[in-house]
Structure 1
Amino acid sequence: MSSKAKGLLIFFAVLSVAFLGYAGYVIKGERGTFLGVEKLPVIGAPGHTVPGFSFTDQEGNTRTQADVKGKTYVAEYFFTTCTGICPKMNANMEKIYAEYKDNPNFLILSHTVDPEHDSVPVLKEYAAKHGANSKNWWFLTGNKVDLYRLARQGYLVDDGTPSGDEDFVHTQWFALVDKTGQIRGLYEGTKDKDVYKLIADIDRLMKE
């Protein structure tokens, strides 16, 4: 074999190695991007977490912050006699529940804004209409001041200010809360696209 031929063989061998190395680099980079899970933002002031609470669910059980520790959950506010946004919100919440009802690390907390009417028996009947199991979808009632304070200062789903006897919270926002009590997203519960994004974000949050 001539020296020229040997030179060409060496050249193409080096070129092949270089190409394979580059291809491996590209594939590795793409795989990292594909498999990598970008973290969701944290909502609220630095260090903000949902404060302690104590409410009663549709079965008469007391539910506190200790019961949600280490779990991912979605929180909302509604009332059973609402004929406006609440039916749409809870129809959409059913979609979320269907996705995660068998996941022991996921919960839904639905807080009434009308505790004078929404007693435990009323909430139990309402929960049954939505196919909710009290082990992982809680319909909560309690002291009105505490419920409203948690909506505004805890979940950040309402920016109103207390207004005495006329005070009322009526919000379409769902809050996504991580296992440490941080809020990781707010979503309009009346909008299908927001609900589907919420479902996708729950998946992302579960992988963090």
Structure 2
Amino acid sequence: MHKLFVLGMIICIAFAACQSNSTTLPIIGQREAVEKEVDGKIVTDTVYHRIPAFSFLNQDSILISDKNFDQKIYVANFFFTHCPSICPTMQRNLLRAYEKYKNDERISFLSHSIDFKYDQPHVLKEYAKNLGVDNAQWQFVTGSKAAIYSLADEYFVYTKEDSTVAGGYDHSGYLVLVDHDKHVRGAYDGTNEEQVSQLLKDIDILLKEYE
């Protein structure tokens, strides 16, 4: 996906996230009107963008997939363990959400490493431990460059291997809120405490949709 398109989507997502109200959240991304027959009548239905199927190795060297997040709300992001710039702040802020909802089976967290060379499962395991993650509610995963980077596009997150930037990888620091149907419902700058606070509020709103 073209960089400018991804950045444009990020701007749209951030704006939509800020516009969320106290009763419902928007569904972010492309949508398509599809006609289908119901009880002999032609009706128009709206098909929304969804996060596609995926499968990655986690910090315990166990293969996990999108099925692990069925019937759950989850927050996803993209990082790498030796990131010298935005990742430490982003992950500490995501830890706020993890600690708030710890042991709440309705919500999970998923961090995808974009460093497909270094961030092997044992590295992710040590990273998670040092961060303070001590249960399976927050998964850290690794995979091939093609698989991780193409999935980042589906979350509207910019990722790029770039030897000219610190750490060798360029990426945006968005925390992406996903619902039971794998629809993106919001994205929040993980380095901005105000937006992370909004994420916490929006998680509560989304949880109420499934009560």
Q: Is the 8 A contact 2:75 2:108 kept in 1?
A: yes
* Greater radius of gyration (CA): 1
How many residue pairs get aligned? The number is 170
Q: Which residue number in structure 1 is paired with residue 80 of structure 2?
A: 79
Q: Is the 8 A contact 1:37 1:207 kept in 2?
A: no
Q: Give the superposition deviation at 1:131.
A: 1.4
Q: 2: CA distance between counterparts of 1:181 and 1:170?
A: 22
- Secondary structure of residue in 2 paired with 1:207: helix
- Secondary structure of residue in 1 paired with 2:186: strand
- The aligned runs of 1:146-185 (5 Å cut-off) are 146-152=147-153, 154-158=154-158, 168-185=169-186
Q: Give the superposition deviation at 1:98.
A: 0.6
Tell me the alpha carbon deviations over residues 142-174 of structure 1, each in whole angstroms, 9 at most, x when there is no partner: 11111000001x21122x6x7899995511111
Gaps of 5+ in 1: 1-35
2:23 to 15, 21, 38: 38
Gaps of 5+ in 2: 1-20, 32-47
Q: Is the 8 A contact 2:161 2:170 kept in 1?
A: no
Q: Is the 8 A contact 1:79 1:112 kept in 2?
A: yes
Normalised by the length of structure 2, the TM-score is: 0.76
CA RMSD of aligned residues (A): 2.1
- Return the structure number with greater helix share: 1
- Secondary structure of residue in 2 paired with 1:108: strand
Q: Is the 8 A contact 2:162 2:170 kept in 1?
A: no
Q: Which runs of 4+ in 1 moved over 4 A?
A: 162-169
**Identity among equivalent pairs (%):** 38
Q: Give the superposition deviation at 1:133.
A: 3.0
**Relative to 1, partners in 2 of residues 1:163 and 1:199: Cα closer, same or farther, differing over 3 Å?**
closer
